[in-house]
Structure 1
Amino acid sequence: MADVKKIATRESYGNALVELGKKHEDLIVLDADLAGATKTGTFQKAFPDRHWDCGIAEANMAGIAAGLSTCGKVPFMSTFAMFAAGRAYEQVRNSIGYPHLNVKIGATHAGISVGEDGATHQCLEDLALMREIPGMVVINPSDDIEAKAAVEAAYEHVGPVYMRFGRLAVPVINDNADYKFEIGKGIVLKEGTDVSIFATGLEVSEALEAAKMLEADGINAEVVNIHTIKPLDKELVVKSAQKTGKVVTVEEHWINGGLGSAVCEVLCEEAPTKVLRIGVEDKFGESGPATELIHKYELDAEGIYKKVKAFVK
């Protein structure tokens, strides 16, 4: 996929905020001394009066965002996923989730693709933590186009939204005229009959590549982009599972609590199906180049291909 255009979704986040800022004066961006890394610095340059640096005080930033939302503003609080979902969890839960305030959380640098920053910064539990908060929408876009659409959809949605963005540049796969983003609606990218692969985030492009490899082995895989972890597109999950009879979930997240768990919860209640969850096992990440880590943890197309092939056969 070397010839495919690649963009990090954190870049998309920053660019989308600028475009939204031109149209909506009530949009305020908060950051925690990481504007260069989260790419909200682009918004800061365009709208310096509407970009607030809260310093290395993420819990306080969540409280400020909550307060702003009660004054008619639409705050986007931005920091690394480890700090947004981890360090500030209590404040996100109690100050934003509990009163169901209109705060948007832009969490960048999620997953092992953070790379050299290592296990302390490679947040692999954020989807699990955020989807457990009542009323919280959880979005994990797959590429630049989807990330920009997700930011706009988050602004239009009334209520708390958690958005997960990555550091690593990923292929642009949604550059087609009929692409449409809708919160809570998955997208079938490839029809199939032998196995359903539900993927999220950067794993969507890897799943598509794996499906091509499986096709060469006579395995017809259906690939579904689940960009919204919560609310999950239950109807699509059940329909695809009943069609193929086997389900695989793929995520750059611990296999517990994220997409795999969400899909299993639906299927065990509505359409019991054999499921293989692909993600990071019960272990922390490590420091190293992002692409090498994705390969080591078998989250690249090759790793997905091998696991799905064994599962189906």
Structure 2
Amino acid sequence: MAKVATREAYGKTLAKLAQENKNIIVLDADLSGSTKTKDVKNVAPEQHYNMGIAESNMMGVAAGLAASGNTVFASSFAMFATGRAFEQIRNSIGYPHLNVKVCASHAGITVGEDGASHQTIEDISLMRGIPGMVVVCPADSVEAAEATKAVAAIDGPCYLRLGRSAVETIYDENTIHFEIGKGNVLHEGKDVAIIACGIMVEAALKACEELKTKGYNPTVVDMHTIKPIDKDLLVKLAETHDLFVTCEEHSVIGGLGSAVAETLSQYAPRKVRMVGMKDVFGESGTPAELLEKYGLTAKDIVNAVEEK
């Protein structure tokens, strides 16, 4: 199937939602071509505002519009949306629990040649630390479309993490089931549970196929919602799985791995190994080169399972 970036699906889906609901207001920090909110501008220009290169101000405006009864989508690169504007998201959006959806693109190291200054590997940690903030990281374009609809339908602050690069399509748009806070089991197995989010779901499925040739039969879960994490699914898996391997295009500190480990340690202690960025910054390079260098490939997942 064709490769499509999650940001592409976000733009197209948001444009449809804006046409259906005039209370949806979309803000962008002068990156509408990259974040794809230009799709909204093309069909509903009165609902799209370019706030300029002023992300902190954009979040303040988003808070005001949400307090006035609107559903607000605020987009920029993940580095600037969650990093530069963290205080405004925390105090102006999170604290009053306003209906703002921070939908950030170009997350993770697959921003590639833009380098470490633009490669956000702390954003999930930052956003899941804000009380009441929902955090979602879709695996492909089909799931990104469903996630966009889902965050639009709930009241309250959400963080939707999107990528720059085109990714393989995993889901069928006619059969996908997406529910915030409920992980999707993509392959049922035993003993080893691979819990992944975002682009690492594809890598997890590839690792699963290789592991089968080595005598393993892992369960693979797309844990698209990092917060609230699917506690019930993790506890259920712990009944038949002794090892959990988490996979994320994010730091192993504060992201999906931390969320899984926190849950299991409290309710069903099991061994957890984490595939992710190991407390280092990235560098400039192609997405494929960077994923290889920093250990975010199917091979690295296989190695984590086989580690003694």
Q: TM-score, normalised by structure 1?
A: 0.97
- Give, as a single letter, the amino acid of the residue that structure 2 aligns with 1:238: V
- Residue of structure 1 in register with 2:217 after alignment: 220
Contact 2:245 2:304 in 1 (8 A): no
Number of aligned pairs? Answer: 308
Say whether 1:37 aligns with 2:34.
Answer: yes
In the TM superposition, residue 253 of structure 1 has moved relative to its aligned partner by: 0.3
Contact 2:252 2:277 in 1 (8 A): yes
Measure the CA separation in 2 of the matches of 1:101 and 1:42: 25
SS in 1 for 2:9: helix
SS in 1 for 2:307: helix
SS in 2 for 1:158: coil
Contact 2:13 2:148 in 1 (8 A): yes
SS in 1 for 2:238: helix
Per-residue Cα deviation, 1:51-95 (whole angstroms, up to 9, x for no partner): 100000000000000000111111100001101110000000000
Say whether 1:87 aligns with 2:84.
Answer: yes
Say whether 1:180 aligns with 2:183.
Answer: no
Per-residue Cα deviation, 1:194-230 (whole angstroms, up to 9, x for no partner): 2000000010011000100000101111000000000
- Residue of structure 1 in register with 2:243 after alignment: 246
Alignment RMSD: 0.9
In the TM superposition, residue 303 of structure 1 has moved relative to its aligned partner by: 2.1
Contact 2:125 2:255 in 1 (8 A): yes
Give the fraction of aligned pairs with identical amino acids, expressed as a percent.
54
- Give, as a single letter, the amino acid of the residue that structure 2 aligns with 1:187: N
Per-residue Cα deviation, 1:163-185 (whole angstroms, up to 9, x for no partner): 00000111111116432110100
- Out of 69, 73, 76, the residue aligned to residue 76 of structure 1 is 73
- Out of 15, 20, 31, the residue aligned to residue 18 of structure 1 is 15
- Residue of structure 1 in register with 2:303 after alignment: 306
Say whether 1:48 aligns with 2:45.
Answer: yes
- Out of 127, 131, 134, the residue aligned to residue 130 of structure 1 is 127
Say whether 1:159 aligns with 2:148.
Answer: no
Q: TM-score, normalised by structure 2?
A: 0.98
Contact 1:118 1:286 in 2 (8 A): yes
SS in 1 for 2:121: coil
- Give, as a single letter, the amino acid of the residue that structure 2 aligns with 1:171: E
Contact 2:193 2:218 in 1 (8 A): yes
Say whether 1:268 aligns with 2:265.
Answer: yes
Say whether 1:144 aligns with 2:133.
Answer: no
Measure the CA separation in 1 of the matches of 2:262 and 2:44: 43
In the TM superposition, residue 309 of structure 1 has moved relative to its aligned partner by: 2.3
Measure the CA separation in 2 of the matches of 1:140 and 1:75: 19
- In structure 2, relative to structure 1, the CA distance for the partners of 1:176 and 1:219 (3 Å cut) is farther
In the TM superposition, residue 285 of structure 1 has moved relative to its aligned partner by: 0.6
In the TM superposition, residue 103 of structure 1 has moved relative to its aligned partner by: 0.4
- Give, as a single letter, the amino acid of the residue that structure 2 aligns with 1:288: G
- Give, as a single letter, the amino acid of the residue that structure 1 aligns with 2:294: Y
- Give, as a single letter, the amino acid of the residue that structure 1 aligns with 2:108: G
Measure the CA separation in 2 of the matches of 1:257 and 1:160: 19
Measure the CA separation in 1 of the matches of 2:244 and 2:299: 18
Contact 1:214 1:309 in 2 (8 A): no
Moved over 4 A (4+): none
| 1:195-210 equivalence runs, <5 A | 195-210=192-207
